[in-house]
Structure 1
Amino acid sequence: METIDYNSFAKKCVDDLKSLQDRFQEEYDLNWYENWFYNQATGLLTFSSNEVELNFKYFEVGSFSEKLNTWMWSWDNDDTLDNVKEKTKLIKRFGQRSNFSRLTNGCFQSDEFEAWEFTAIATKVTNGIGVYRPVNHEQLQIFLVITEFVDNEVAQNIKDKYVQCDIHEYKRIAFVCQHLNHTSKIGFEEAFETSEDMELMEEEDFQAWCNECEVVRLKEGEWNDKSMEFSGIKLVCEKCYFEMKELNLGHR
């Protein structure tokens, strides 16, 4: 197997990223948009101005701390959700095959130039279409690789699967009857067996109801106007759903 020199490879990736980013900027003109927002739960990076919106899928490469002068790969960051750091495991495996310790150590002393090198390498290894670095927060630079453009309708369908919870912030939506709560054990019936963080089919949602609702449903023989009125379905977040399940069933 041909040996790859890390410094030469990193420089080539940076040069390629400069060309790639020029083409990406020419096509999408991100500077035109007034606002930006990225969400780990949805995996979407959104730019907007007034009613105009532009959406992409992304993953988080890692972060550079200006305060500590350290780089941390997102695969080593417990605060980063799995769905936006899964692709960085490809970079780690590439580093293991190539014996590049900078790609396999989770957190170490570094600088901003290297942070861009790592982002360039991540873009090359994962065939990204561009990169983005949001505005610094508390001297922390976050580096994102953009993987694909997402049509606004598709993006909205993804966003509609999430809700802003007062307790747990931004989580997937779930539906429970009006009687289920965080303090009372009143039974927990589900539309199908669930587990936290499980993948759902596009048409599926977490749905649960209490014992009383189950009695009414069985009496009616189905979910109809009467049983639905009794249940008084309400919207909650996924985390709230599984807290209620834990309370009633004692397991997840």
Structure 2
Amino acid sequence: MNYKEFSQEKLDNLIHIQDLFKKKFDIDGYENWFYDSESELLRLYNSDEDEIYFRYIPVGSYSQNKQTWMWSWFNENSIEKSKEKVLAVKEFGAKNQYEKLLEGTFTSDKFDAWEFTSICLDFLNGIGAYKVDSNDLDKFMVIMAVEDIDSKDVQLLKQKTVECVQHGYSRPAFVCQHLDCKTARGFQEAFDTYKGMELEEDDDFQAWCDECEKVRIEHGEWNEESESFAQIQLICENCYFELKEFNQKSN
């Protein structure tokens, strides 16, 4: 069987399994998503009372800007331990000389990405697939099982997050007191960010307005005076990116 026939067979299987997955868990009924690479948990939610958790295995990512695919096992920045399980697909590709299953990263398209996900779904015996969109990067996952909301891993995940009245649990972020979605004041960041990005252990989402930036530069650094002017506040990741979008586009 050539690769085209093989991949089409897996895609047909994905369509069938995905239909069952969506119907059983009402996947399209959730407006928001959040995933944690360390625990390998995906949270879909509308509120804290309307949420569901899944355990996942990362397949890979597709860059919309570069139009390239990268397998999860090739991604050195990915911390998910289960990505090693995807190497079984690479080994299969080597035996059958399927080049797309061998190379770590290469020029590709979204159709390829779903092909690869369907192949991994079959190899890993998953219950469904999911794609999260982070800026220009699409991350593809095989969903392995539903995670009990009272499980230890879910509770540990919630301890690492902040609870927002509007968005429920998500990662913490820090902004100055002046940023809001009423008046655009500019948006200065500690480093370039996008929603869903993986952070280093010691990193946080941090931003401040243009006036705070002027004060910071006047003092040469963040110190007692500049920090007193900024009055940094704790918010959730979702609020952070709402502030970013408003203050950047409206400024």
Structures share fold, TM-score greater than 0.5: yes
**Contact kept? 1:37, 1:47, Cα under 8 Å:** yes
User: Cα distance, 1:52 vs. partner?
Assistant: 2.2
Contact 1:61 1:119 in 2 (8 A): yes
User: 2:126 matched to which residue of 1?
Assistant: 128
| 1:9-55 residue CA offsets vs partner (Å, 9 max, x unmatched) | 10000000001000000000012123211110110001122212201
Change (3 A) 1:27 1:165: closer
Determine if contact 2:131/2:140 at 8 Å carries over to the other structure. yes
Alpha carbons 2:58, 2:82 under 8 Å: kept? yes
AA aligned opposite 2:11: V
Identity %: 36
CA–CA distance in structure 2, aligned partners of residues 126 and 72 of structure 1: 18
Please tell me whether the aligned partners of residues 121 and 142 of structure 2 are also in contact (alpha carbons under 8 angstroms).
yes
Instruction: Give aligned pairs, total.
Output: 166
| Maintained 8 Å contact 1:43/1:58 | yes
Q: 1:42 to 1:82 in 2, by over 3 A?
A: closer
More off after superposition, 82-91 vs 32-41: 82-91
Task: Give the counterpart letter for 1:16 in structure 2.
Answer: N
Report how far residue 77 of structure 1 moved. 0.6
- Residues 34 and 43 in structure 2, CA contact (< 8 A), matched pair in contact too: yes
CA contact (8 A) 2:33 2:45 kept: yes
**Secondary structure, counterpart of 1:134 in structure 2:** strand
Identify which of 86, 89, 110 aligns with 2:87.
89
CA contact (8 A) 1:96 1:104 kept: yes
What is the DSSP-based 3-state SS (H/G/I as helix, E as strand, rest coil) of the residue aligned with 1:63? strand
Q: Deviations over 1:192-223 (max 9, x none)?
A: xxxxxxxxxxxxxxxxxxxxxxxxxxxxxxxx
**Aligned pair 1:30/2:24, yes or no?**
no
Q: After TM superposition, list the pairs within 5 Å mapping 1:140-159 onto structure 2.
A: 140-154=137-151, 155-159=153-157
Match of 2:2 in 1: 5
Q: Normalized against structure 1, the TM-score is what?
A: 0.61
- Aligned match of 1:68: 66
Q: Distance in 2 between matches of 1:168 and 1:87?
A: 28
Is the contact between residue 40 and residue 84 of structure 1 (CA under 8 Å) also seen in structure 2? no
- The match for 1:19 among 16, 22, 26 is 16
The range that moved more, 8-17 or 51-60, is 51-60
CA–CA separation in structure 1 for the residues paired with 2:110 and 2:30: 25
- Given residue 121 of structure 1, which amino acid in structure 2 is its aligned partner? I
User: Does 2:56 align with 1:58?
Assistant: yes
- What residue in structure 2 maps to residue 250 of structure 1? none
AA paired with 1:69? Q
Question: Counterparts of 1:162 and 1:98 in 2: how far apart (Å)?
Answer: 43
Aligned position for 1:139: 136
The answer to whether the 8 Å contact 1:56/1:149 transfers is yes
SS in 2 for 1:153: coil
Unaligned runs of at least 5 residues, structure 2: 162-170, 174-200, 205-251
Q: Decide whether the 8 Å contact of 2:40 with 2:80 is kept in 1.
A: no
Does the CA-based 8 Å contact 1:60-1:144 persist in structure 2? yes
Aligned with 1:43 (options 40, 44, 57):
40
Deviations 1:76-118 (A, max 9, x none): 1111114241221121122122221111110111111111111
Inter-partner Cα distance in structure 1 for 2:50 and 2:23: 18
Among 95, 102, 105, the residue aligned to 2:100: 102
Q: CA deviation at 1:158?
A: 4.5
Q: Secondary structure at the match of 2:144?
A: strand
TM-score relative to the length of structure 2: 0.61
